[in-house]
Chain A
């Protein structure tokens, strides 16, 4: 028992190892579908883009659309809101972005954002008239007190990022495609 005999690996050892390796790879491959079934399915992904008619949204009004099950805030901003957003120095921002980076060139009055707080996913207030808009005249999340400004940028509270911008484009002056 105590004497160590260093033997060369045999053909049989090789077979054991390769059999085990194949079983491990095969097992892992078999597990993947069992995990991946939990990811968003084809019907969920199929709802990936919508067209939204914005012709009826007056200056100073906001409308919420539904995209991928998420609320999308579309706000027709006033000139003073745009001015206010432009006046903020970038170093005051947690997630620095200029107002121009938050909108499409030539359509600065239209702010289109996913209406979910980047902290833990609540819907911020500020879309409807009379709702609390927070300390920066934008949106306020009631869950944990995040304040967003008139460009949807995070200014105060626990949220780490600005409100997310969905991919979107103008199909005409009154019709946008989100997604």
Chain B
């Protein structure tokens, strides 16, 4: 927080440097002494996990780019070359591929934490919106990365997703050919996806910097949702939370390592070990698990609504399911941040979590019979939660009494 500098240069060199570029001051204030609520629980450690995952993906990605060839004739073989011939390539490629899944696993925990504890509420709306922007960038990056091995799922995933744009009236077709650089997904598409896949993580890093900046203006939220009132409510970030975060990162790395060492392909799809063939579509096109809920919502719209075709409707719903996250701060008018003090909110919240997982399951199933019906129900609840449940609860719910301060909450807990 601004204005309470804890940095005192101890020698002349530091003082000289500080007057010219206050880098050490900035580090001391924001990376070490930053006052953090002392009651934040383990759900608050996933921001650090995500920061570590971004670094892991950038480092492994830069290494992979040294050995990968973005050309349709060579791409598929070059990935196999990395896995079989390059020293430690099996581990590095596995880390990058599994890392995408671990990254999304962590981001979903981070987001559900925010939804439960009302982290999006004033004064943290911009912080939350930047988070949604990062999530969108992550999805774009992951999608383009998945195309690079040029397997069947790469090719047909790219075809289906880029064709979403043709749902836009009039300008859809020109946008599609601008995106893929041809009449179908082909070498120009692979080349530009490689270029953009390399670029986007750095854009993400820049938005993450803004995200943390926006976090450091009001400071962290906490499980009670009561704002910090005095220094008795906080502890310095280092060493209390740096070490706690580090502990979680180590624990997080255990399943991560298990996947990389023993089952690097278990989260992917076997069809991606068949080289791309523009003339044969796999029987079931399935995106990676972390995109499945949104894919299920895309497919749930198989009916026309007035002048909106089923195709355009599905695209609107799919993009809308993420864009709607940006306006939650204004949909949920409840003055109480934390779900812990909202008795009516809790069951709806957990139903939302279960519903999200159901959509994830449905996205992997064929679009027929009961699966389609359940997808429609799930899509309706997903939107209903934001558009009806949150605004209505804000008006009718009587929250439990809030503790007078964070310290008081901690003391009460230990009684």
Contacts and interface: CB of A to CB of B under 8 A. Distances in A.
A96 interface: no
A116 B162 CA distance: 14
A38 B285 contact: no
A142 B281 contact: yes
A138 B192 CA distance: 36
Interface string B163-203: 11010000000000111011110101000100000000000
B336 to A, nearest CB: 42
A122 B310 CA distance: 17
B177 A40 contact: yes
Contact of A70 (B178, B183, B285, B368): B183
B160 A121 contact: yes
Nearest to A141: B281
A143 B164 CA distance: 13
Contacts, number: 84
A70 B311 contact: no
A71 B184 CA distance: 10
A41 B187 CA distance: 11
Interface stretch (A4-12, A18-26, A103-111, A154-162): A154-162
A164 to B, nearest CB: 11
A68 B181 contact: no
B299 A144 contact: yes
B186 A69 contact: yes
B302 interface: yes
Contacts of B283: 142
Contacts of A116: 184
B163 A40 contact: no
A68 B178 contact: no
B229 interface: no
Nearest to B315: A120
For chain A, what secondary structure do more than half of its interface residues adopt (helix, strand, loop), or is it mixed? loop
B309 interface: yes
Given A160-B309, A160-B311, A39 B181 contact: yes
A120 B285 CA distance: 11
B280 interface: yes
A119 interface: yes
A159 B166 CA distance: 12
Given A40-B177, A142-B283, A143-B285, A120 B182 contact: no
B279 A44 contact: no
B368 A158 contact: no
Interface in A1-53: 35, 38-41, 44
Contact of A38 (B156, B160, B192, B279): B192
The 5 residue pairs across chains A and B that have the minimum distance between CB atoms: A121-B163, A120-B163, A122-B281, A68-B183, A69-B184
Interface of B: 156, 159-160, 162-164, 166, 177-179, 181-184, 186, 188, 192, 278-285, 299, 302, 309-311, 314, 366-368
Interface of A: 35, 38-41, 44, 64, 66, 68-71, 116, 119-124, 141-145, 157-160
Given A142-B281, A144-B367, 17 more contacts: A39-B177, A44-B186, A68-B183, A69-B186, A119-B311, A120-B164, A121-B162, A122-B159, A123-B281, A142-B282, A142-B284, A143-B160, A143-B281, A144-B302, A158-B311, A159-B311, A160-B309
